Structure 1
Amino acid sequence: MSDTQTLIENRPPSVAALFLERVERTPDAEAYRYPVPAASGQGPDDWKSLSWAEAATRVHAIAAGLIDLGVAPEERVALASATRVEWILADLGVMCAGAAVTTVYPQTNAEESAFILSDSDSRVLIAENAEQLAKAVERRADLPQLHHVVVIDPEGADTSDDWVLTLADLEARGTAYLERHPEIVKERVAALTSDQLATLIYTSGTTGRPKGVRLRHDSWSYMAKAIAATGLLTSEDIQYLWLPLAHVFGKVLTSGQIEIGHVTAVDGRIDKIIVNLPVVQPTYMAAVPRIFEKVYNGVAAKAREGGGAKYKIFQWAAGVAREYAKVTQDNFRRTGSATAPFGLTAKHKVADALVYSKLREAFGGRLRAAVSGSVALAPEIGYFFSGAGIHILEGYGLTESSAASFVNPGEAYRTGTVGKPLPGTEVRIADDGEILLRSPGIMEGYHGLPDKTAEVLEPDGWFHTGDIGELSNDGYLRITDRKKDLFKTSGGKYIAPTEVEGQFKAVCPFVSNMVVLGADRNYCTALIALDEPSLLGWAAEHGLGGKTYAEVVAAPQTEKLIEGYVTRLNEGLQRWQTIKKFRLLPRDLDVEHGELTPSLKMKRPVVERTYQHLIEDMYAGAREA
C-alpha cells in the first residue's frame, strides 16, 4: 500500500477529530488571521491572529454552549453569515458538539431562508448580524422548531428576547458548562462516526426549491487527507480565504487547512480583495473565474487609459504570455521541463519587466498558485495568467461531491483542463459523455428527497454529475459543458454554449457575462452584459463620459465596439456556432436579481425569462428550419 493510500485509508471519522489532533500537534502555531477595522473607522484594517490553541478555546466554548442549549448529536444548527473567522469557529463548534451545520447564504431572502431552516429542522440559527436576525424574526411563526438565534455581531440587533443571545453570551455559557463538564467536547467528538451527518448544504436551484445535500463527517475527513496527499500545499503556506463559506468550495478549504496546518487569512469582503492581497501576501488562494476575468479586464482597461502606446505594449505582452504558457506547458508535458526557445524567452523577459511583474505584485508578490473552480475559466485567460507567472490550477467538483474531485497537479498543470482525480476518487465517462464519479466525498443523498437522490446516485455509489467531459490518456479531465446546457439547433448541430462564451471572454476585454442561445432555432444569438468599470473607462475616452452604464450600453458606438469583437469571435468558430445577432443588456447579471448563484454561476433559465423580449426580437421574422 502506498503512503498516499495509507494516509487516506487511515483517516479519522471526522474533521472534528482532525481539529483536536491539529491543536495537540501545533498548539502555538498561527492558525487564522482576520481583519479588525481601525477604531477611527479610517485607514487600513488591523489584522489579528489566532493560534490553534486560541482557536480551540473558542471552538470548545461554542460547542459546549450549544450542548448547554440542548443541541443533540446530528441535530442541525444553521449558519447564516458572510465569510469571517467566526464562521469557521462556529462551524467547528457545531461539529465538535456532534451536531450538523446547515449553511445559509447571507444574500438569501427571508422566505427561502425560512424554507431552509424548516426543511433542515434546524434547532439553532447562528446569524451574522441584525440583518440576518431580522429574517428569522420575520418568519418566526413558521419556525416552531427554531429554539434560539445566536448573533455574531450584535450591533443594532434586539437581543432583549430570551430567544436571542450573542455569540459572546454563547461562549460564556459554554465556558461555564465546561467547568462543570470538562470532558464533554472530547466525548462528543469521540462518539462521532464517519457516516453521521456533518453538513447540509442547499444547492441554488435554477427552478423550484433548493435541495439539501447531505454530506457526512467522512466526506470532510477524506477531503482533508486527499488535499494533503496532492502535495500542493505545505504547513508554510498562507492561504487567503474570501470565498463564501456557505458554498462547498469555500467550506472544503477549511478541512484541508486543518490537516496541513498552514495559516489562513479570512475576509469575505469582495471589495477588499485588491486591498488585502498586498497586506496578506498569500502563497495560495482559491477563486472563481469571474475574479480572474475582472483582473484581466482591469489591467487591459488601465493600459488603454495610459494611451495607445501603453495599450499596444499590453496587447503585445498578453500575446507573449499566452504563447510562452502554451509552449512551456507543452514542453513540460513532453519532456518534464518547462522550457521555451531563446527568442521567446527573451521577449518574455522584457514583457515580464514591463507588465507581468506589476501584475504579480498586485497579487501580493508571493503567490505560488491559485485554484479556480465553480465554473470554467476561459483557456486564453488562463494562458495569459500562466505566462505572467500566476499559475491558475483549475479544479472540478460539485456540492454533491464535497467540492474537490479533480485538481491540476502543480507544475504539471494543463490550462483548459481540470487536472486529475484526487487520490481515492474514481471517474468514468458514460456513453453519452457524462462524467460519473465515485469517492468517499460523494453525498449521502438529497435531504428528504429519495426519488431525486435515486435519479443521480446509483446503488453502487456512482454519481451522475450532469457534466459532459473528456479524459486524456494520462488522466486529465476536460469539461465541455453541462449536459442540460447543451442544445441542438434546428439544423441538427449540437452547441456547447459555455465553450463559445469562454472564447468570447478571451477576445473581448469588456464582457462580464454572455448567454449563447439557439436551441431549436436555425442560428445562434447572444445576450451580452458588459463589465461596468471597463466600459465606463472606454466611454470617457469616446465622448460618452458622465453617462450611466445603461446610457452607454444603449449608445450606437458601444454596439459597434462589441460588434467588432463578435466578428472576431465568429472567425474562430464553426459556421453553425457563429453568433448572428446579439443584444447588450441594460445592466450586468447579478445575485440580487436571481440571475447568478452566490458562487457566481449563471442561472440560464432565469436570464432567458427576464430577457425573453430581447430574445424574441433577435428571432423575429426568422425562417425556422
Structure 2
Amino acid sequence: MEDIRACKSLPGLFFGWAARLGEKPFLVARRDGEWRTQSWRAVADEVLALSAGLERLGVTAGDRVALIGENRPEWAIADLAIMATGAITVPAYTTNTVADHRHILDNSGAKLAIVSTPALAHRVLAAAAEASARPGVIVIDPPFAEPPEGIVRHSWDEVMALGRASGAEAHVRARVAGLRRDHTACIIHTSGTGGVPKGVMLSHGAILHNCYGAAVLVDDLNGGVHCDEVFLSFLPLSHAYEHTAGLFLPISIGATIYYADSIEHLSANMLEVRPTIMTAVPRLYDSIRIRILKGLGKVGRLRQTLFHAALSLGERRIAQGGRLGPLDSLADRVLDRVVRDKIRDRFGGRLKAFVSGGAPLPPEVGRFFLSLGVTILQGYGQTEAAPVISVNRPGRVRVESVGPVIEGVEIRIAADGEILVRGEMVMQGYWQDPASTAAAIDPDGWLHTGDIGVIDPDGNLRITDRKKDIIVNSGGDNVSPQRIECLLTLQPGIAQAMVHGDRRPHLVALIVPDPDRVQALGAPARERVVIEHPRLKAEIAHAVEQVNAHLAPVERIRRFTVLAEPFSVENGLLTPTMKIRRHLIRESHAAILDGMYEDRSVRASRPKVEAM
C-alpha cells in the first residue's frame, strides 16, 4: 500500500503493477459467449499504443477527451491511455441524450470523443456536430456510420495502429513519469439532481488518496494478508463511485476485474465469476433482499422456519453487539452451516464484502444481509471528494452509520450541522465555474458537502439530512424527505416515491407502484398519468399507513397520488445514478401536487392514518 502513497499518477500506478504481475489476469469480459482474459502486460501494451495514437491525432497535455461506453476492457484502456498522454478523461453516461452529450462536449471543450458501439456513436456524432468545439470521434466497434459533415471519425483499430507504428513506447513512459499528483486526471460531471451538471475536476492525487483509504479496508478484510482479489464491475464507470472503487481500487491492489454481461445477468455472473468484493448501490441490495424473500415462498415449511430462525438469531446477535448465550450460539453455528452458507453460495461462495454507496442504505437492508452472514459495508461520499469520505469497517459495522472517515480525511460539523471535509481527495473545483467552486470549497480548503450529519461517540458519521432537500413546512418544522421516501419504498408494492410539502401545512407524496403488482391487478392501460384502480390504491394506502405509524406527526403523509409512469432516466426524472430529480418532478407534476392541497381534488388519496 505504500506504493499508492508514493505514486505520482494513476497511469504510473498501473504500469508499476503491470511490470510486477506480467501475465497474470487483469481484465476479463465475455466475447462470443466465452470469458476472454487480458493480462496486465497485454493491457499495458494496448495503453501504450492508444496513448501514442492519441498523440498522433494531436492530443496533448491538458486536452480533454470524452469517453462514452459500457463497462468493458476498452473503457479502462482508454481511460488510462488518455491520462498517460497527459490529457484529461471526461466520462459520460451511455444513457445521455444528444443534448446531454452536447452539454458535456461544450462544457469540457473536448478535443476528441471515444465511443464504444454504433448505437452510442449515433448520438455522440450528432452531439459533436452541434457542439461548438466539434471534436473528432473514435468509434470502437464496427459498423462505422458516416460522420456528419465537418466531423472526423476514426476507428479504434486505426488509432491503435497509428500508435504502434510510431514506436513511441519509451516516449509515453517518460511522459507518465513526468505526471504529478496535482495534475487533473478527469472531469466527472455531477448527475444534475438540482440543475445542469457541473464538471468536477479530480486530480491524480485525489483518486490515489481514495485508493489508499479503500486499500486499508481491503487489508482489514484479509487480516493484513495480501490476497488476489476479484471484482465484478457493473455500475457505470462514468460515475465517480465505480471509476474509483471499480477500476482504480482494483488496480491499486493488483486485482482482477470481470465485466458483468448486464444487470439482468448479474446473479448468473456472480456464480460464474465468484467475486471477492463487489461495489453497488442500495437499490441493488434491496432488490436482492426482495428476491430472496420472494423465493422463500417456493420452498418447504422446514426451510422457511430455518431461514427465519437464522435471520432472527442474526438480528439478535447484531443488537447485542455480537454476543449470544451458549444455546443461542450453538444454534447460530448450526444455522450458519445449514442456511447462511447457502445464501453465501448464491454470490459465488467467496464474497468477503458487499460495499454500498451512492445513496443511503436502509438499516433494515443492512441488518438483513449481516444477519444472514453476508458482510455489507456502507460508505459515504460524493463526486467532489473523488468520491469516498467514510466507510464502515469489517467487524465494526454500524448499519445506521456510514462509518469513520478514511485515512487522511479531516472532518468537522459546521454550526448548522453541515458536514465539512478536507484532504487531498477534495476536488480542484468545478470546470470553468469559479462561483460554484467558491460556494463549495471555503478559503480554508473545507468542502461543504451539503449533507447534514453527526459524529457519534465511536467516531462513526451518521447522515441525518440533505441540506438543500430539507422541507420546511408552513409551521417552520424541518422534515427530511429522503428518509420518508426510503421507508415508503421498503414497503411491498411501492417502487418509487417523492415527498413534497415545502412551505405547505402537511406532506403529500407521489408514488409509483411496483409494476409487477400493477400487472397482476390489471390496472387499466388508459390510466396514463394517474392510476385510479381501487384495489391498488387501497394497498398503497395501507403501505402509507404502515409508514405513517412510525413517523412523527409532522412527517406523516396526508395524501398521495399513484402515478402510472415511473421516474426514469429516459423521461429525465431520474439521474443516471438513479437519484430523483426533485425540481423536475415538481415542475412536471405541479398540477397534481397542487391538487392534493385542494379539498376538491379527486385524484389524491388519503391514507387511513392522518393524525397530525
TM (normalized to structure 2)?
A: 0.90
The answer (yes or no) to whether the contact 2:118–2:144 under 8 Å persists in 1 is yes
Residues 1:101 and 2:54 are matched in the alignment: no
Structure 1 residues 59, 524: CA separation in 2 closer, same or farther (over 3 Å shift)?
same
| Aligned twin of 1:175 | 164
- Structure 1 residue aligned with 2:588, among 603, 607, 610? 610
Question: Residues 230-269 of structure 1: matches in 2 within 5 Å?
Answer: 230=217, 231-232=219-220, 234-253=226-245, 254-267=247-260, 269=262
1:150 aligns with 2:138: yes
Amino acid at match of 2:279: A
Kept in 2, the 8 Å contact 1:532–1:549? The answer is no
CA shift, 1:443, in A, is 0.6
- Following the alignment from structure 1 to structure 2, what is the Cα–Cα distance between the partners of residues 313 and 587? 40
3-state SS, counterpart of residue 64 of structure 1: helix
Shift of residue 251, structure 1, vs aligned partner: 0.5
Aligned pair partner of 1:26 in 21, 24, 36: 21
Change in Cα spacing, 1:140 to 1:570, as seen in structure 2 (3 Å) is closer
Partner of residue 211, structure 2? 224
Q: Take 1:572 and 1:343, find their aligned partners in 2: how far apart are those partners?
A: 34
CA contact (8 A) 1:74 1:198 kept: no
Contact 1:235 1:263 in 2 (8 A): no
Question: In 2, Cα distance between the equivalents of 1:482 and 1:90?
Answer: 35
1:420 is paired with a residue whose SS is: coil
> 1:516 is matched with which residue: 499, 503, 507?
499
Write the letter of the residue equivalent to 2:10.
Answer: V
**Structure 1 position 220, deviation (Å):** 1.9
* Residue range with higher mean Cα deviation, 295-304 or 117-126: 295-304
Equivalents in 1 of 2:492, 2:545: separation in Å? 14
**How far does residue 584 in structure 1 lie from its aligned partner after superposition?**
1.9
The residue aligned with 2:280 is: 287
Distance (Å, rounded) in 1 between the aligned partners of 2:120 and 2:401:
39
Matched residue, 1:387: 371
- Deviation string 1:283-341 (CA, Å, 9 cap, x unpaired) is 110000110111122223333466999878866765554334333xxx2xxxxxx3323
Q: Indicate the percent of aligned positions where both proteins have the same amino acid.
A: 32
3-state SS of 2:495 partner: strand
Checking the alignment, whether the CA contact within 8 Å between 2:138 and 2:154 is kept in structure 1 is yes
**Aligned match of 2:604:** none
After TM superposition, the structure 1 = structure 2 runs for residues 151-550 of structure 1, keeping only pairs within 5 Å, are: 151-155=139-143, 157-158=145-146, 163-178=152-167, 181-230=168-217, 231-232=219-220, 234-253=226-245, 254-267=247-260, 269-304=262-297, 318-327=311-320, 331=321, 338-342=322-326, 344-345=328-329, 348=332, 356-506=340-490, 508-533=491-516, 535=517, 540=520, 544=521
Verify the 8 A CA contact 2:125 2:147 in the aligned structure 1: no
Query: Are the structure 2 counterparts of residues 167 and 583 from structure 1 closer, same or farther at C-alpha, using a change threshold of 3 Å?
Result: same
Say yes or no: does 1:80 pair with 2:73: no
Asked if structure 1 preserves the Cα contact closer than 8 Å seen for 2:401 and 2:461, the reply is yes
Residue identity opposite 1:126 in structure 2: I
What amino acid sits opposite 1:61 in the alignment? A
- Cα distance in 1 for partners of 2:374, 2:250 equals 22
Q: Unaligned stretches of 5+ in structure 2? A: 602-611
Cα–Cα, structure 1 residues 229 and 346, in superposed 2: closer, same or farther, change >3 Å? closer
The answer to whether the 8 A contact 1:396-1:407 is kept is yes
Deviation at 1:576, TM superposition (A): 1.8
| Range with greater deviation from structure 2 (342-351 or 568-577) | 342-351
Single out whichever of 167-176 and 355-364 deviates more from structure 2. 355-364
**Pairwise CA distance, 1:609:** 2.2
Q: CA deviation at 1:560?
A: 1.9
Question: How far did residue 595 of structure 1 move?
Answer: 1.5
1:204 counterpart SS class:
coil
What is the alpha-carbon distance in structure 1 between the residues aligned to residue 337 and residue 84 of structure 2?
50
1:43 corresponds in structure 2 to none
Give 2:576's aligned residue: 598
Structure 1 gaps, min length 5: 39-45, 332-337
Shift of 1:228: 1.8
- Classify 1:94/1:513 alpha carbon distance in 2 versus 1 (closer, same or farther; 3 Å): same
Q: Structure 2: how far apart are the matches of 1:274 and 1:76? A: 37
Question: What is the identity, as a one-letter code, of the residue corresponding to 2:139?
Answer: V
**Does structure 2 retain, via aligned residues, the 8 Å contact 1:525–1:580?**
yes
Question: Per the alignment, do residues 139 and 565 of structure 1 end up closer, same or farther by CA in structure 2, a change over 3 Å counting?
Answer: closer
Give 3-state SS (helix, strand or coil) of 1:411's partner. coil
Decide whether aligned partners of structure 1 residues 445 and 546 sit closer, same or farther in structure 2, where only a CA change above 3 A counts. closer
User: CA RMSD, aligned part only?
Assistant: 2.8
Amino acid across the alignment from 1:599: T
Tell me how far 1:530 sits from its aligned partner: 2.7
CA displacement 1:239-271 (0-9 Å, x = unmatched):
111111101001002111111101111236222
Counterpart position of 1:113: 101
Match of 1:70 in 2: 58
Count of aligned positions:
594
Q: Deviations over 1:410-435 (max 9, x none)?
A: 11121121111111111100011100
